[in-house]
Amino acid sequence: MPQHALIVAGRGRYEDPWHDHAATSHRIALLLADQGLSTTVRGMFPDAVDDLESFDLFIVNAGQGRRDPDFDGDDRDWAPVHERIKTYADHGGAMLVVHQAISAFQDSAHWKGIVGGRWVRGVTWHPPIGEATFHVRRHAHPITHDLDDIEVLDERYTLLDTDSRVVVLATQTETRVEHPVAWVNTTGGRRVVYDSLGHDVTALESCGRRALLLREVRWLLDHAPSDT
Protein backbone atom coordinates (compact mmCIF):
# COMPACT_ATOMS: atom_id res chain seq x y z
CA MET A 1 0.00 0.00 0.00
CA PRO A 2 1.47 3.42 -0.92
CA GLN A 3 2.29 5.78 1.92
CA HIS A 4 0.10 8.84 2.19
CA ALA A 5 1.03 12.36 3.28
CA LEU A 6 -1.23 15.21 4.38
CA ILE A 7 -0.09 18.77 3.66
CA VAL A 8 -1.99 21.59 5.35
CA ALA A 9 -1.68 24.97 3.66
CA GLY A 10 -2.13 28.17 5.65
CA ARG A 11 -5.50 29.86 5.64
CA GLY A 12 -7.19 32.53 7.77
CA ARG A 13 -5.74 32.31 11.27
CA TYR A 14 -2.77 30.38 9.86
CA GLU A 15 -1.83 32.32 6.74
CA ASP A 16 0.23 35.47 6.26
CA PRO A 17 0.79 38.04 3.50
CA TRP A 18 4.40 37.01 2.78
CA HIS A 19 4.05 33.37 1.73
CA ASP A 20 2.08 31.69 -1.04
CA HIS A 21 1.05 28.65 0.96
CA ALA A 22 -1.05 27.19 -1.85
CA ALA A 23 1.76 27.35 -4.42
CA THR A 24 4.47 25.93 -2.17
CA SER A 25 2.17 23.19 -0.88
CA HIS A 26 1.39 22.21 -4.46
CA ARG A 27 5.10 22.15 -5.34
CA ILE A 28 5.94 19.97 -2.34
CA ALA A 29 3.12 17.61 -3.31
CA LEU A 30 4.56 17.28 -6.83
CA LEU A 31 8.02 16.53 -5.42
CA LEU A 32 6.58 13.79 -3.23
CA ALA A 33 4.54 12.39 -6.10
CA ASP A 34 7.77 12.01 -8.08
CA GLN A 35 8.93 9.72 -5.25
CA GLY A 36 5.78 7.61 -5.40
CA LEU A 37 4.16 9.17 -2.33
CA SER A 38 0.42 9.81 -2.40
CA THR A 39 -0.39 13.30 -1.11
CA THR A 40 -3.50 15.17 0.02
CA VAL A 41 -3.37 18.99 0.26
CA ARG A 42 -5.92 20.82 2.40
CA GLY A 43 -6.47 24.37 3.54
CA MET A 44 -6.15 24.89 7.29
CA PHE A 45 -9.81 24.62 8.21
CA PRO A 46 -10.72 23.44 11.73
CA ASP A 47 -11.63 19.99 10.37
CA ALA A 48 -8.49 19.62 8.22
CA VAL A 49 -6.85 17.18 10.65
CA ASP A 50 -9.92 15.24 11.82
CA ASP A 51 -8.48 12.08 10.23
CA LEU A 52 -4.81 12.90 10.89
CA GLU A 53 -4.05 9.47 12.37
CA SER A 54 -4.82 7.86 8.99
CA PHE A 55 -1.82 9.55 7.34
CA ASP A 56 1.78 8.32 7.33
CA LEU A 57 3.23 11.85 7.21
CA PHE A 58 1.91 15.26 8.27
CA ILE A 59 3.45 18.34 6.60
CA VAL A 60 2.64 21.76 8.04
CA ASN A 61 3.03 24.61 5.54
CA ALA A 62 1.22 27.44 7.26
CA GLY A 63 1.94 30.67 9.11
CA GLN A 64 0.55 33.01 11.71
CA GLY A 65 -2.35 35.03 10.34
CA ARG A 66 -5.40 36.93 11.49
CA ARG A 67 -7.57 35.89 14.41
CA ASP A 68 -11.10 36.56 13.25
CA PRO A 69 -13.75 34.55 15.13
CA ASP A 70 -16.41 35.57 12.62
CA PHE A 71 -14.34 34.11 9.79
CA ASP A 72 -12.96 30.82 11.08
CA GLY A 73 -13.65 30.48 14.78
CA ASP A 74 -12.19 31.50 18.12
CA ASP A 75 -9.61 29.88 20.41
CA ARG A 76 -12.14 27.36 21.70
CA ASP A 77 -12.92 26.22 18.17
CA TRP A 78 -9.24 25.61 17.45
CA ALA A 79 -8.27 23.96 20.77
CA PRO A 80 -9.33 20.46 19.57
CA VAL A 81 -7.12 20.92 16.49
CA HIS A 82 -4.10 21.64 18.69
CA GLU A 83 -4.86 18.62 20.87
CA ARG A 84 -5.23 16.35 17.84
CA ILE A 85 -1.86 17.47 16.48
CA LYS A 86 -0.26 16.96 19.89
CA THR A 87 -1.69 13.46 20.15
CA TYR A 88 -0.38 12.59 16.68
CA ALA A 89 3.11 13.89 17.58
CA ASP A 90 3.14 12.26 21.03
CA HIS A 91 2.40 8.89 19.43
CA GLY A 92 5.37 9.20 17.08
CA GLY A 93 3.47 10.42 14.03
CA ALA A 94 5.87 11.62 11.34
CA MET A 95 5.81 15.41 10.96
CA LEU A 96 7.65 17.83 8.69
CA VAL A 97 7.33 21.51 9.64
CA VAL A 98 8.31 23.80 6.77
CA HIS A 99 9.74 27.35 6.80
CA GLN A 100 7.28 29.82 8.38
CA ALA A 101 5.25 27.00 9.95
CA ILE A 102 7.46 27.24 13.04
CA SER A 103 5.11 30.16 13.85
CA ALA A 104 1.88 28.55 12.68
CA PHE A 105 0.33 27.43 15.95
CA GLN A 106 1.58 30.03 18.39
CA ASP A 107 -1.91 29.90 19.89
CA SER A 108 -1.12 26.31 20.97
CA ALA A 109 0.70 25.61 24.22
CA HIS A 110 2.18 22.48 22.62
CA TRP A 111 3.69 23.74 19.36
CA LYS A 112 7.16 24.77 20.56
CA GLY A 113 7.68 21.40 22.23
CA ILE A 114 6.51 19.54 19.14
CA VAL A 115 8.74 21.47 16.74
CA GLY A 116 11.71 21.76 19.09
CA GLY A 117 11.95 25.53 18.69
CA ARG A 118 10.08 28.71 17.91
CA TRP A 119 10.21 32.09 16.22
CA VAL A 120 10.44 34.79 18.90
CA ARG A 121 8.83 38.09 17.99
CA GLY A 122 11.25 40.97 18.32
CA VAL A 123 14.26 38.61 18.45
CA THR A 124 14.14 36.19 15.52
CA TRP A 125 14.55 37.77 12.09
CA HIS A 126 15.98 37.20 8.64
CA PRO A 127 18.01 39.31 6.19
CA PRO A 128 16.32 40.16 2.87
CA ILE A 129 15.78 37.16 0.63
CA GLY A 130 18.81 36.51 -1.56
CA GLU A 131 21.43 34.03 -2.61
CA ALA A 132 22.28 32.04 0.49
CA THR A 133 24.50 29.21 1.64
CA PHE A 134 23.19 26.72 4.18
CA HIS A 135 25.88 24.64 5.86
CA VAL A 136 24.91 20.98 6.10
CA ARG A 137 26.17 18.99 9.09
CA ARG A 138 27.07 15.92 7.06
CA HIS A 139 27.88 13.67 10.02
CA ALA A 140 25.17 14.80 12.43
CA HIS A 141 22.37 12.52 11.29
CA PRO A 142 21.48 9.93 8.60
CA ILE A 143 19.41 12.59 6.81
CA THR A 144 22.50 14.65 6.04
CA HIS A 145 25.06 11.89 5.50
CA ASP A 146 27.38 13.05 2.69
CA LEU A 147 24.95 15.80 1.65
CA ASP A 148 26.64 18.94 0.30
CA ASP A 149 26.02 22.49 1.46
CA ILE A 150 22.96 24.08 -0.14
CA GLU A 151 23.11 27.14 -2.41
CA VAL A 152 19.68 28.66 -2.93
CA LEU A 153 17.76 31.92 -3.27
CA ASP A 154 15.97 31.93 0.05
CA GLU A 155 15.50 33.54 3.46
CA ARG A 156 17.99 32.87 6.27
CA TYR A 157 16.16 32.57 9.56
CA THR A 158 18.30 33.97 12.35
CA LEU A 159 18.10 33.62 16.16
CA LEU A 160 15.40 31.00 16.28
CA ASP A 161 14.84 29.76 19.83
CA THR A 162 16.02 26.16 19.48
CA ASP A 163 15.69 23.40 22.08
CA SER A 164 19.09 22.09 23.18
CA ARG A 165 17.95 18.48 22.68
CA VAL A 166 17.34 18.67 18.94
CA VAL A 167 19.84 17.34 16.38
CA VAL A 168 20.83 20.19 14.09
CA LEU A 169 20.94 19.28 10.40
CA ALA A 170 21.96 22.62 8.88
CA THR A 171 22.96 26.14 9.84
CA GLN A 172 23.50 29.53 8.22
CA THR A 173 26.05 32.17 9.16
CA GLU A 174 25.05 35.69 10.17
CA THR A 175 27.58 38.11 11.66
CA ARG A 176 30.05 35.21 11.99
CA VAL A 177 27.65 33.17 14.14
CA GLU A 178 26.16 29.84 13.08
CA HIS A 179 22.38 29.72 13.44
CA PRO A 180 20.43 26.42 13.30
CA VAL A 181 17.92 26.39 10.45
CA ALA A 182 16.94 22.71 10.23
CA TRP A 183 16.79 20.00 12.88
CA VAL A 184 15.31 16.73 14.07
CA ASN A 185 13.28 16.57 17.28
CA THR A 186 12.83 13.10 18.79
CA THR A 187 12.29 14.14 22.41
CA GLY A 188 9.45 12.31 24.10
CA GLY A 189 9.31 9.71 21.33
CA ARG A 190 8.41 12.29 18.71
CA ARG A 191 9.40 12.06 15.05
CA VAL A 192 9.56 15.66 13.84
CA VAL A 193 11.76 17.54 11.40
CA TYR A 194 11.81 21.32 11.17
CA ASP A 195 13.28 22.82 7.99
CA SER A 196 13.31 26.60 7.57
CA LEU A 197 14.24 26.56 3.89
CA GLY A 198 11.57 27.07 1.22
CA HIS A 199 10.22 30.62 1.23
CA ASP A 200 8.68 30.24 -2.21
CA VAL A 201 8.45 28.02 -5.27
CA THR A 202 11.76 29.38 -6.62
CA ALA A 203 13.55 28.23 -3.46
CA LEU A 204 12.01 24.78 -3.88
CA GLU A 205 13.56 24.49 -7.36
CA SER A 206 17.10 24.29 -5.95
CA CYS A 207 18.55 20.79 -6.36
CA GLY A 208 20.22 20.92 -2.96
CA ARG A 209 17.08 22.13 -1.24
CA ARG A 210 15.00 19.40 -2.87
CA ALA A 211 17.57 16.77 -1.86
CA LEU A 212 17.38 17.80 1.80
CA LEU A 213 13.59 17.85 1.83
CA LEU A 214 13.28 14.43 0.21
CA ARG A 215 15.82 12.93 2.60
CA GLU A 216 13.85 14.36 5.52
CA VAL A 217 10.65 12.83 4.18
CA ARG A 218 12.24 9.45 3.58
CA TRP A 219 13.78 9.34 7.07
CA LEU A 220 10.48 10.31 8.68
CA LEU A 221 8.64 7.57 6.82
CA ASP A 222 11.24 4.84 7.25
CA HIS A 223 12.33 5.19 10.87
CA ALA A 224 10.61 4.37 14.12
CA PRO A 225 10.20 7.14 16.72
CA SER A 226 13.09 5.89 18.86
CA ASP A 227 15.57 6.05 15.97
CA THR A 228 17.94 8.98 15.62
How many domains, the chain?
1
Considering only CA atoms, which of 9, 50, 7 is closest in space to residue 217?
7
| Domain-located, residue 57 | yes
Reported pTM: 0.95
| Domain-located, residue 48 | yes
| Domain-located, residue 228 | no
pLDDT tens per residue, the chain (228 residues)?
Answer: 679 999 999 999 999 999 999 999 999 999 999 999 999 999 999 999 999 999 999 999 999 988 889 899 999 999 999 999 999 999 999 999 999 999 999 999 999 999 999 999 999 999 999 999 999 999 999 999 999 999 999 999 999 999 999 999 999 999 999 999 999 999 999 999 999 999 999 999 999 999 999 999 999 999 755 444
Contacts of 193 (CB under 8 A, 6+ apart): 95, 96, 97, 143, 169, 182, 183, 184, 185, 216, 219, 220
Which range marks the domain in which residue 183 is found? 4-222
| Domain-located, residue 166 | yes
How far is the C-alpha of 62 from the C-alpha of 211, rounded, in Å?
A: 22
Q: Does residue 83 contact residue 98 with C-beta atoms inside 8 Å?
A: no
| Domain-located, residue 151 | yes
| Domain-located, residue 227 | no
| Domain-located, residue 149 | yes
The CATH number that applies at residue 206 is 3.40.50.880
